[in-house]
């Protein structure tokens, strides 16, 4: 099924009905009749999108300038959602399965509190990638988020499980309040990474300035990284043989928390 934006929303459009779990199996007219919120006005999906059937049985494609369209793939549990272009906030929020592919950039809160499935963003992502909502202690519970560009602040805030990989740079407070899980940043790590880290792993391919509550352990070769790196390489990240077999500085922290977390910095 293909949804094409024919009318640009003037204010954010909440389109959580655009999810494979909700659309697959429905006819175009049924899909067009689904509710969306344009600001605080309830309207129909067909007021903004035209719907055409396609041969892919498990894939929903969406095209157009979706930078003001929010909550695509919200709570999806299966199927594929392919977005041709940029997309608005809360992409794939609370998803538990399936796959979302964004050909362009994603706004803030992508993968918010997801527990399974995979999000691939070929461009950049905003802030709060894979994070908890404000006030929640626990965020992402599983799944994978791959951003081939850069991402903003507070990546993986409160992360409990799962994998996030950033192909370029990350913003500040990467992995803040992280409880477990793994975050890779192949470019430059922003300021104050791992603040409040309880457990979990943050890996950076470049050196970084760390908080004074992190303690240097050693330089060693973490063999557990290889399966991750090979997986990232297969999914399109530029992972060299040197970083796979290389050595890393290990820093334990955050000592103001449980101090069982780690930041690994590649030693070139």
Partner 1 sequence: MIINGVLIDETFAEAFGVRGTRIIITAQNQKWANIAAASITGFATSVIGCGVEAGIEREIDPSETPDGRPGVSVLMFAMSSAVLMKQLETRLGQCVLTCPTTAAFSGIYGDPETVTRINLGKNLRFFGDGFQISKQFGGKRYWRVPVMDGEFLVEETTGMVRAVGGGNFLILAESQPQALAACEAAIEAMKKLPNVIMPFPGGVVRSGSKVGSKYKALIASTNDAFCPTLKGATKSELSPEIGSVMEIVIDGLTDVDIRAATKAGIAAACALGSDNGIKRISAGNYGGKLGQFHFHLREIMA
Q: How far is the CB of 36 from partner 1 (least distance, A)?
A: 35
* Residue nearer to partner 1 on the CB measure, 37 or 266: 266
Q: How far is the CB of 245 from partner 1 (least distance, A)?
A: 7
Q: How far is the CB of 227 from partner 1 (least distance, A)?
A: 5
Do residues 120 and 139 lie in contact, with contact meaning Cβ atoms separated by under 8 Å? Answer: no
**Token pair listed for 65:** 């300038």
Q: How far is the CB of 55 from partner 1 (least distance, A)?
A: 30
Three-state DSSP at 251 gives strand
* Residue nearer to partner 1 on the CB measure, 27 or 226: 226
DSSP assignment string, 37-64: EETTEEEEGGGTEEEE--S-TTEEEEES
* Residue nearer to partner 1 on the CB measure, 33 or 230: 230
**Token pair listed for 235:** 């999914």
Q: How far is the CB of 224 from partner 1 (least distance, A)?
A: 5
Do residues 99 and 81 lie in contact, with contact meaning Cβ atoms separated by under 8 Å? Answer: yes
DSSP letter assigned to residue 238: -
Instruction: Tell me the C-alpha to C-alpha distance, in Å, between residue 196 and each of 73, 154, 204, 211, 253.
Output: 30, 12, 18, 10, 8
* Residue nearer to partner 1 on the CB measure, 227 or 236: 227
* Residue nearer to partner 1 on the CB measure, 4 or 247: 247
Q: To 10 degrees, the CA torsion angle through 12, 17, 19, 20?
A: -150
Do residues 252 and 217 lie in contact, with contact meaning Cβ atoms separated by under 8 Å? Answer: yes
Do residues 103 and 81 lie in contact, with contact meaning Cβ atoms separated by under 8 Å? Answer: no
Instruction: Name, in order, each residue with C-beta under 8 angstroms of 182's C-beta and a sequence gap of 6 or more.
Output: 162, 163, 164, 200, 201, 202, 203, 228
* Residue nearer to partner 1 on the CB measure, 54 or 220: 220
Do residues 117 and 92 lie in contact, with contact meaning Cβ atoms separated by under 8 Å? Answer: yes
* Residue nearer to partner 1 on the CB measure, 144 or 169: 144
Q: How far is the CB of 218 from partner 1 (least distance, A)?
A: 8
Binding site for partner 1 (CB under 8 A): 142, 161, 163, 180, 182, 199, 201, 220-224, 226-228, 230-231, 244-245, 260, 262
Q: How far is the CB of 230 from partner 1 (least distance, A)?
A: 7
């Amino acid at each position: 099924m293909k949804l094409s934006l024919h009318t640009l929303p003037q204010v954010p459009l909440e389109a959580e009905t655009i999810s494979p779990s909700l659309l697959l199996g429905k006819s175009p007219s049924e899909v067009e009749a689904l509710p969306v919120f344009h600001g605080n006005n309830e309207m129909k999906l067909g007021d903004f999108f035209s719907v055409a059937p396609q041969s892919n049985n498990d894939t929903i494609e969406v095209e157009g300038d979706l930078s003001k369209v929010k909550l695509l793939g919200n709570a999806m549990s299966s199927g594929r959602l392919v977005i041709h272009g940029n997309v608005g906030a809360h992409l794939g929020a609370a998803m538990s399965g399936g796959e979302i592919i964004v050909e362009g950039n994603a706004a803030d809160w992508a993968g918010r509190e997801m527990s399974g499935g995979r999000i691939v963003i070929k461009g950049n992502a905003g802030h709060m990638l894979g994070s908890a909502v404000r006030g929640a202690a626990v965020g992402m519970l599983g799944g994978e988020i791959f951003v081939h560009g850069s991402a903003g602040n507070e990546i993986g805030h409160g992360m409990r499980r799962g994998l996030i990989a950033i192909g370029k740079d990350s913003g500040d407070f990467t992995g803040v309040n992280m409880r477990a899980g793994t975050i890779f940043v192949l470019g430059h790590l922003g300021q104050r990474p791992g603040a409040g880290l309880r457990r979990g792993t943050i890996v950076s391919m470049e050196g970084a300035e760390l908080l004074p509550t992190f303690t240097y352990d050693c330089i060693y070769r973490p063999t557990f990284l290889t399966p991750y790196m090979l997986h990232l390489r297969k999914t399109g990240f530029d992972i060299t043989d040197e970083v796979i077999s290389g050595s890393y500085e290990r820093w334990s922290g955050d000592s103001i928390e449980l101090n069982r977390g780690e930041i690994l910095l590649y030693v070139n």
